[in-house]
Amino acid sequence: MWLSIDPRSAKPVYQQVVDGVKEAVAKGLLGHGDRMPSVRELAAEMTINHNTVARAYQELERDHIIEVVRGHGTFIAASRPRPDHEDRVRELSGRIRELLIEAHHLQLTDQDLLNLFRSTAEEWHRERRRVQR
């Protein structure tokens, strides 16, 4: 299964579902046109409440990650440039800013953080390649 839920995490369960789907898509485990499990199927498989899954799907639809086709089911959407692209890049930049502050308090230099960035990216791509085989 491309999703795992930790009910003890501080991250809300619905957010874990949203992030899990986004991660699976980014890894290529789910791609354009793939059928998603129904809200109730996924809820049963993860042993979580179906309302929680429904909320996650709503969020994913708003983000154009999935598409709901009435009477047919839910599918992974085609990835395409988003109208609010600039806003999102700005938001990403804000999160990088937070990393810089956190790194400062961990007494990491920018170079340390850059190295951590590089090694995390490499690890991430290794993982991607592994799951796709």
Partner DNA sequence: GTGGTCTAGACCACC
Q: Does 39 bind DNA (CB under 7 A)?
A: yes
Nearest to 66 by CA among 10, 115, 21: 21
Nearest to 26 by CA among 102, 131, 103: 131
Helical axes 13-27 vs 110-132, angle rounded to 10°:
70
Taking the C-alpha atoms of residue 14 and residue 48, their distance in angstroms, rounded to an integer, is 9
Nearest to 130 by CA among 25, 28, 18, 4: 28
- The contact pattern for DNA, residues 61-90, with x = CB under 7 A and - = no contact, is x------x-xxxxx----------------
Q: Which of 3, 15, 29, 63 binds DNA (CB under 7 A)?
A: 15
Could you tell which of a second copy, DNA, none binds residue 4, using a CB distance below 5 to 8 A set by kind? none
Q: Does 41 bind DNA (CB under 7 A)?
A: yes
Closest CB to DNA among residues 27, 43: 43
Q: Interface with DNA by CB under 7 A: which range of 5-13, 88-96, 99-107, 108-116?
A: 5-13
Question: For the chain, what's the residue count?
Answer: 133
Rule CB under 7 A: which residues touch DNA?
A: 7, 12-15, 36, 38-41, 48-52, 54-55, 57-58, 61, 68, 70-74
